[in-house]
Amino acid sequence: MPPLLGRDPLIERIDHQLVPEARVVLVGPGGIGKTSIAHALLDRRPGVFVDLTAASEAAHVWQALSDALGAAVPGDEPSAVLARRVATTDRVVVIDSAEQVLAAVE
């Protein structure tokens, strides 16, 4: 990925906000570099990138998170199992392109 010119101060500020149990949300119009910033953060910290571009329902969200985290998810209550897994991981979990399945990721 090409370097992000002029974004170091922003990336540094976001990196400092990533304390245990923190939730940081990058919002803005398409094409301004949110995904690139997320990848730059993952270059600094261990983590996983979950791309939900193709997700159209909650089941797709659970499967993508399960795959990224390497977690087997039982058929009943996948949201609760994955929420616990995300809350207890020491890795950064980046969830990208979640706008079409927002209710599932909240």
Tell me the C-alpha distance between 101 and 14, whole Å. 24
With H, G, I as helix, E, B as strand and everything else as coil, classify residue 90.
coil
Q: Who wins on pLDDT, 103 or 11? A: 11
Element (DSSP H or E) covering residue 6: none
Report the candidate in 93, 32, 19, 95 with the shortest Cα–Cα distance to residue 10: 32
pLDDT in tens, 13-49: 999 998 887 888 899 898 899 999 999 999 999 999 9
Q: What is the DSSP string of 13-81?
A: HHHHH--TT-------STTSSHHHHHHHHHHHS-EEEEE-TT--SHHHHHHHHHHHHT----SS-HHHH
